Amino acid sequence: MARHARRRRPSTIGLVAMTLLAVAAGALASEAESRWPVNGPFVRAGAVGTALDVEPVRVTVHGVRAATVLSDGLDDLDSAGIWIAVDVSAAALTEPATIAEMALRAADGREFRQTDRAPNPMVGGEFDPLITERGEVVFEVPGDVVGEVVLVISPDAPRRTVPRAAAEVPLTVEAPGPDPLVPRARELATEDP
Amino acid sequence: MRTSLRWAIATGTMAAAGVGAIAAAGGFGAAAPPPVQTAAAGEPVDVGPADLAVRAWTVRDDVATRALEGIDGAQAWLVLAAEVTAATELTTRFPAEALALPADLGLDEPEQVVLLPDLLSGPDLQPGLPSQVLLLWPLPADELPADDTSDELSLDYIRLRLDDSTIDASQVWRADGVAATAAVPRDDAVGDELVEDW
């Protein structure tokens, strides 16, 4: 009868290495959910002048401008930074829908939500299906946020770690002009989105 | 002695020696808290999600009177004037838990945060953009400062640290000790912006 072959025991170094590996894998697993969330948004990339379907709305970005003073036509609103207005048109696709949030992402990763210092009727207000409305969305950002930025359009659940749709449109912001910026009001658009 | 038992004893001995070495070096002791700095009035303090600088304070009952009447037992507002600059990557709100007033006042987070000059309540703070704010706490009659009270108000800036949420995969700011203490002067002009419109 054959004897069982004697198993080789791991070396001390191997045992220590395996222990460290197990501890490191555990630490990595515990960190993974918050550092690398699996539920990222479904991002549609677009360009200025191109209609983009991002459920449940269709949006088109027409352009961007910047100024140091914001005006509603009567009063001026100063800022420690600058004002940026993004010209957008939007319509719902199949049933009434809203855009919950828009944000400007600077080159350094900072994201600036639409300002709450001025009315922003293109955000939070309902759009009807296939009825296109157009207006400017206003952002207040530090003065160093000029040049290349990305407009992030989040129709639903912005920033939540749940599957959701978002659109990203790269923009180039010129240096702010001296004239007060009077944002374009939300109104029915004469062109398709 | 069986080989497996010798291995178990060796491994246990190594682990015990490692734990003992860490303990002997003080590795299991509580870390010394970072030094608490003393900030001058109006000097920005890094509290984590923002740089915060309290400039002055006052007590007055002629602002936000309707809101004051709606709070049981409140006789006046403690009003602080501050500058806050968000240090977060995303637009955020005022880090109300970053300020601690003297314990004998029994006040927690401010009842209202008002942006100047807009008088916007509960404003968004944009990253890197300094904002002037007024912070309002309702004071009951027995907490109103007497006329002979010191003109300086002592307060603590609380350091906040980003931590994993216990509910979902997000992260939350949690208090993590005192970042700085400050004594800010009384200025009865603080809150004048609220008199006409509130």
Task: Tell me, yes or no, if B5 comes closer than 8 A to chain A by beta carbon.
Answer: no
The CATH number linked to A67 is: 2.60.40.1240
A31 shares its domain with A98? no
Bigger pLDDT: A130 vs A61: A61
pLDDT for residue B141: 75
Least confident of A35-39, A128-132, A176-180, B124-128: A35-39
Of A85, A186, A41, A190, which is closest to residue A127 (Cα–Cα)? Answer: A186
pLDDT for residue A31: 82
pLDDT for residue A118: 94
A65 shares its domain with A25? no
Helices (H), B109-190: none
Question: Number of folded domains in chain A?
Answer: 2
A118 shares its domain with A33? no
A16 shares its domain with A97? no
A92 shares its domain with A154? yes
Cβ–Cβ gap A111/B127 under 8 Å: yes
Query: Does A18 fall in a domain?
Result: yes
Question: Which band of pLDDT confidence, cut at 50, 70 and 90, is reported for residue A193?
Answer: low
A116 shares its domain with A140? yes
Query: Does A127 fall in a domain?
Result: yes
| Other Cβ atoms closer than 10 A to B111 | 18
Distance from CA of A110 to the nearest CA of B (A): 4
Query: Does A121 fall in a domain?
Result: yes
In whole angstroms, give the CA distance from residue B38 to residue B181. Answer: 5
pLDDT for residue A35: 73
A72 shares its domain with A85? yes
pLDDT for residue B179: 95
pLDDT for residue A37: 66
CB contact set of A179 (below 8 Å; sequence gap of 6+): A67, A69
- Give, as one character, the DSSP assignment of residue B141: G
Question: Which band of pLDDT confidence, cut at 50, 70 and 90, is reported for residue A172?
Answer: very high
pLDDT for residue A82: 96
Domain extent at residue A17: 10-39
Query: Does A139 fall in a domain?
Result: yes
pLDDT (tens digit, 0 to 9) for every residue of chain B, 198 residues total?
677 788 888 888 999 998 999 888 888 888 777 778 899 999 999 999 999 999 999 999 998 888 888 888 889 999 999 999 999 999 999 999 999 999 888 899 999 999 999 999 999 999 999 999 999 999 987 766 665 566 899 999 999 999 988 887 778 999 999 999 999 999 999 999 998 655
**Testing the interface with B: which of A111, A149, A160 to mutate, by most B Cβ within 10 A?**
A111
In A, which residues are within 8 Å of B169 by CB distance? 33-34, 37, 39, 161
**Testing the interface with A: which of B51, B114, B126 to mutate, by most A Cβ within 10 A?**
B126
**Of B90, B123, B127, which is closest to A116 when you measure between CB atoms?**
B123
A118 shares its domain with A27? no
CB contact set of B67 (below 8 Å; sequence gap of 6+): B111, B112, B198
A84 shares its domain with A171? yes
In B, which residues are within 8 Å of A137 by CB distance? none
Query: Does A104 fall in a domain?
Result: yes
Give the model confidence (pLDDT) of A88-121 as tens digits.
999 999 999 999 999 999 999 999 999 999 999 9
Give the model confidence (pLDDT) of A135-159 as tens digits.
999 999 999 999 999 999 999 877 7
A73 shares its domain with A27? no
Query: Does A193 fall in a domain?
Result: no
**Of A15, A141, A144, which is closest to B126 when you measure between CB atoms?**
A141
Query: Does A54 fall in a domain?
Result: yes
Task: Tell me, yes or no, if B118 comes closer than 8 A to chain A by beta carbon.
Answer: yes
pLDDT for residue B94: 97
Q: pLDDT averaged over chain A?
A: 90
Using CB atoms within 10 Å of the CB of residue B144, give its burial: 0 to 12 exposed, 13 to 18 middle, 19+ buried. Answer: middle
Cβ–Cβ gap B124/A115 under 8 Å: yes
pLDDT for residue A29: 87
Query: Does A3 fall in a domain?
Result: no
pLDDT more than 70, % of chain A? 91
A29 shares its domain with A67? no
pLDDT for residue A65: 96
**Testing the interface with A: which of B129, B132, B166, B167 to mutate, by most A Cβ within 10 A?**
B129
A34 shares its domain with A49? no
